[in-house]
Structure 1
């Protein structure tokens, strides 16, 4: 078999056996650096690239394959014109390029040393990969060791197999695109440069899911390499079947809300919206308060906790059907109790405060990108606009309510009493409907509670409804032309009202 292969790999898994099979097929092998040494030590007949180029590697190995005798051999079409030109310049065609790249990802995940990261940016590798992929009709490009077996089978059968060559080229361009995107993302993030005229991020496939939001939709989950925030994708699943698309989406909502809290807290979520949230002196009490807030909606939902689950709490969790429980840890006894239910998914993961990042939303033909909503309120610029001043307990409950309303879909109203949600009205096209839902869904006495609104009140009707129920304080951003009407209504019912100046729409 009169073929030439160039092999230069960072990931050397399987390469010796692969090269041996190529050699048995009569393929001439040229190689560089560490790959050359490995193949030579393994008894494989291999030629140094520097012998082909008739030029030594220079700059500590930074320049070794960037040479016409390499790239001419890769890029030449098998036409009379190109072959004649190769012959004129004494260049041998290269028919197979086996290259994978310096471990840039592994380096930046291991160290924060910029110089080391820069040294692990491959130059010659991507150039050879792209050249071979461009000329895929005549050159096979292999950047994934999992393709070695199929390549050997193709060569043994002397198949043209153009579909396979095309697939290898597609994988190659995806490989270099991912590599370059990761470098760009790393450098931009490191220097806190914000966004440029193009938005480039790379994600790695984690799994193919059983289906999407509905059974007729295909679905996959990908993870970001550089995002250091708390994520369901970093959790360890201890029990239960594979997470579904909806499970992951709902769990993400629960975790994002839980990141707002440091005290022992329970967050119950259904369809990506909180249905019960509470803080207490211990996590069992917090869960019981969150469950009491809405014992109906939590059925088939997600429970997220920020303290270790012990046996007494596990027994309470097992009293109802829960899709997922998320916590930083579980005692052995608690795990045994929870695992008695076959289908519950048990996730172990640390939940810590999120750092500021970008959020994206798909739209037809593009994406929307914005800062993540990390600001809650500025206590130094809050304005109490009513005659009645809120006391410390009411201020604590208003802060709690804002943390929750920030994570429900607009229009949103949250009613809180003693750091426990007692009414949530979310996803309404009218703010009065959101208020009606929040008040009507409460199963406890509303007197002494507070409400938070994600946006201003366009009229005073919402405040009037709250006052009639005995609610004592309101927190909202303000900014309506009729703010004064709402203030007067609050004064009428002896309520305090605090304006934050910060809206929390979530669409």
Structure 2
């Protein structure tokens, strides 16, 4: 759409009429939403007029409608005069026009009010459609978003299990039914009460693999009719969410802070084919390189400090959300248990000291991927060389707070 064509489509009269009607709600009913036709007609038939409380509610909706229209125009014109998307600059003005889609039972805790809002009045959580189960909770939506972001990073059939915003199991295989047991094996205890995201249609074979594990919600591009029926009948409380695939990302990450908002461009990971720099004497083997790239994708979805241990196609241990990186390594090693032997390690940021690499080497880790950039990189590399490990640098940090 050219700027000239867009400007020609800006409505003046319709907006003015709607605002005028809404302003005079004491005498006028301003109806802008077909969903309100039935109520308006019923009141006119019953009493010969639209009741004042209804007229006031309609006025509120009308002003919200004109506000959203002006916001859309503002956003378009701002984009036309704003720097190119590749620029480091952010918009001078941030227009947020969201509709309340659903009032949630409560927030993170029962004493907190909560609701879900969307830019599109007809769009559900993650832009998807709820197909069954209990109403999605605030925490469900947060976890499903984290799981969906993560599973969208992988091209092969993949499964991601998330609990409290932490990916506790990630695996790829020829089918999601084959990937699920591998994802579950990373931390079967923590998986209880988690959410699952998959990047292929859920079918009967996948449903059978779920066994008796209690799952809060499942997000998928689609569900076969029989799989959906089985889940709805046998897991009546499990929320099913059909979400457009792949994850299309957001232009910005927006977080509220006291008296303001923090805005940043969303971190969508490293582009496919981003070169890796081997910094140790030993090059990673093809198998190690495959596992390193898998672990690197996974680590970007773990809270910092993030450490992920993996073998080709699956993670085996996660340590995240810890102030100390060596503590995160220790946790990942403990979670991996015997599977740490022969695994590779990914770190979302550089190692400030050599202790993390030394701890990983003692557990049997054979290769490491990290951004690099520490003032002690040489010490870290030397520790890897002493242990006979391979180490590659990506050059890009992926903190997640």
Cα distance 1:138–1:311, how it changes in 2: closer, same or farther (>3 A)? closer
What SS is found at the alignment partner of 2:202? coil
Match of residue 225, structure 1, among 120, 125, 134 = 120
Deviation for aligned residue 1:328: 2.5
- Structure 2 residue 36 is matched with structure 1 residue 142: no
Alignment equivalent of 1:123, drawn from 12, 25, 36: 12
Question: Which runs of 5 or more structure 2 residues have no equivalent in the other structure?
Answer: none
| Aligned mate of 2:196, from 298, 303, 325 | 303
State how far apart, in whole Å, the 2-side matches of 1:435 and 1:227 are.
Answer: 44
Q: Identify which of 51, 66, 69 aligns with 1:179.
A: 69
From 305, 309, 327, give the equivalent of 1:415.
Answer: 309
Question: In the alignment, is the contact (CA less than 8 A) between 2:252 and 2:264 conserved in 1?
Answer: yes
Who is 2:245 aligned against?
351
Give yes or no for contact 2:168–2:187 (8 Å, CA) kept in 1.
yes
Aligned-partner Cα distance in 2 for 1:462–1:158: 71
CA–CA distance in structure 1, aligned partners of residues 376 and 139 of structure 2: 40
**TM superposition shift of 1:222:** 1.3
What SS is found at the alignment partner of 1:347?
A: strand
How many Å apart are 1:237 and its aligned residue? 2.3
Map of 1:256 onto structure 2: 149
* CA pair 443-467 structure 1, distance change in 2 beyond 3 A: closer
Question: 1:490 is matched with which residue?
Answer: 384
**1:361-409: CA deviation from partner (whole Å, max 9, x where unpaired):** 1112121111111232685553211111112221221111111111111
Q: Which residue is 1:368 aligned to?
A: 262
Residue 325 (structure 2) aligns with: 431
Selected match of 2:93 from 179, 183, 198 = 198
The yes-or-no answer on 1:329 pairing with 2:222 is yes
SS at match of 1:142: coil
2-side partners of 1:466 and 1:273: how far apart? 21
Match of 1:478 among 372, 378, 387: 372
Counterparts of 2:271 and 2:150, CA distance in 1? 16
SS of 2:373's equivalent in the other structure is coil
* Post-superposition offset of 1:347: 2.3
**Is the contact made by 1:376 and 1:402 (CA closer than 8 Å) also made in structure 2?**
no
2:182 to 277, 285, 289: 289
Equivalent-residue separation in structure 1 for 2:174 and 2:26 (angstroms): 70
Unaligned 5+ runs, structure 1 = 1-111
Aligned 1:22-101 pairs, distance under 5 A: none
Residues 315, 337 of structure 1: 8 Å contact kept: no
With CA pairs under 8 Å and 6+ residues apart, which has the higher RCO, 1 or 2? 2
- Out of 310-319 and 299-308, give the one that drifted further: 310-319
1:240 aligns with 2:127: no
Q: What's the offset of the Cα at 1:236?
A: 2.7
TM-score of the two chains, using structure 2 as the length reference: 0.87
Q: Tell me by how many angstroms 1:209 deviates.
A: 1.2
Residues 478 and 377 of structure 1: CA distance in aligned 2, closer, same or farther (over 3 Å): farther
- Superposition deviation, residue 247 in structure 1: 0.9
> Using a 3 Å threshold, how does the CA distance of structure 1 residues 128 and 235 change in structure 2: closer, same or farther?
closer
The 1:166–1:310 alpha-carbon spacing in structure 2 relative to 1, beyond 3 Å, is closer
Query: Cα–Cα, structure 1 residues 192 and 328, in superposed 2: closer, same or farther, change >3 Å?
Result: farther
Aligned partners of 2:295 and 2:345 also within 8 Å: yes
Matched with 1:391 is 285
Compared with structure 1, are the counterparts of its residues 137 and 204 closer, same or farther at alpha carbon in structure 2 (3 Å cutoff)? closer
User: Which of the two has higher C-alpha Rg?
Assistant: 1
Q: CA deviation at 1:424?
A: 0.5
Q: Compared with structure 1, are the counterparts of its residues 236 and 318 closer, same or farther at alpha carbon in structure 2 (3 Å cutoff)?
A: farther
TM-score by length of 1: 0.70
Query: What residue is the counterpart of 2:102 in the other structure?
Result: 207
CA contact (8 A) 1:270 1:297 kept: yes
> 1: distance between equivalents of 2:50 and 2:238?
52
Shift of 1:199: 0.5
Aligned residues between the structures? 391
Matches within 5 A, 1:430-469: 430-469=324-363
In angstroms, what is the RMSD of aligned CA positions? Answer: 3.1
**What secondary structure does 2:339 align onto?**
coil
Structure 1 residues 211 and 356: CA distance shift in structure 2, 3 A: closer
What SS does structure 2 have at the residue aligned with 1:362?
strand
Partner of 1:35: none
* Further displaced range: 395-404 or 304-313: 304-313
Distance 1:441 1:492 in 2: 25
Give the superposition deviation at 1:326.
2.0
